[in-house]
Structure 1
Amino acid sequence: MEAVQNGQSDNDQREVDPSEIDEGIARFLGIDPGSDTFRLADVRNKATSELKALGDALIAHLDAIGVRIPPAVQLIGGEAGQIVVASEHGEKAAIEARINGDTRVLKTFKEVELLFEILRKAELRGTERFKSQQFNLGLTSLGSIAFFTEV
């Protein structure tokens, strides 16, 4: 596994040939198809920026229904494309109803999930571990965090 320090992997400076990436993913990542390479650090920067924006939107939704952090809220993607509260929380049903009612939040969650999965797959390349990992988004009093758990 790649070492991670200060939120960056040792391979963040690795350059990747854009032709190795699906055209739709390249457009999503903002990669110029005419460029020779892109860096994983660019993907990490986009992922971090999108995570913060999504976290802010989710906190605003929770504030609107009177849910305060702490306690932290752990979110995962559900089988049917919805967002599921994976942690024990007294307002679980209200949280899920509120955030699943906003298609923009659902779309952004999937985009953030994809960005972090790209990074995680790069970190774990050469192993089979990625197949047993699930993306999680945590909302804490310090902000939002992305992490993976074993399934």
Structure 2
Amino acid sequence: MNMVGDVEESSALDDGVARFLGASGEDGEVRLSDIRAKAAIELKKYGEDLGALLVQQKITIPPAIQLTSADDGRVAVQGDHPAREQIEAFINGDTRLLKWFKEIEVLFEILRRTELRGAADPQPAQHFNLGLTSLGSIAFFAAR
């Protein structure tokens, strides 16, 4: 399997990706390391911001929260979290949080597709998940 680390770091990415990221390297190119850094920073900031906002809503972590995109474009909470409906309503009712989640999802999808480039099954039936834990946030892919 071709991992992100195996892909040449000096490979320039599409101008559209550069515009999406709002960043470019010293030579005007966006590299995978730029996307990795952006994804990590945004994931951390989103987790901290959402965690603080949920505390204001009297929702605490633990238990951990697993977020994913629903088929209708909304954010859904996976599993049996006791505040599932309240969390979903809160995130989906806040366009900033919803848009930010989608942007993080796109960043990790770009990285994932790069990881799987050249693999026998380049698009396995997995989807993006964002987990909020007491130790911070995590991004991962899981089967539907």
Q: Same fold (TM over 0.5)?
A: yes
Counterpart of 1:6 in structure 2 is none
Matched AA of 1:95: I
Counterpart of 1:102 in structure 2 is 94
Quote how far apart the aligned CAs of 1:14 are.
2.1
Aligned length: 143
Are positions 1:119 and 2:111 aligned together? yes
Q: CA RMSD in A?
A: 2.2
Counterpart of 1:25 in structure 2 is 17
Unaligned stretches of 5+ in structure 1? 4-8
Are positions 1:140 and 2:133 aligned together? yes
Give the conservation status (yes or no) of the 8 Å contact 1:52–1:144.
yes
Quote how far apart the aligned CAs of 1:130 are.
2.9
Of residues 77, 81, 92 in structure 2, which corresponds to 1:89? 81
Give the conservation status (yes or no) of the 8 Å contact 2:18–2:29.
no
Give the conservation status (yes or no) of the 8 Å contact 1:136–1:148.
yes
**Partner SS, residue 131 of structure 2:** strand
Counterpart of 1:15 in structure 2 is 10
Unaligned stretches of 5+ in structure 2? none
**Partner SS, residue 138 of structure 2:** strand
Matched AA of 2:82: G
Q: Deviations over 1:45-90 (max 9, x none)?
A: 0000111111112112211111111110000011222110012111
Identity %: 48
Q: Deviations over 1:3-45 (max 9, x none)?
A: 5xxxxx4236522233xx2x43220123549946432111000
Matched AA of 2:74: Q
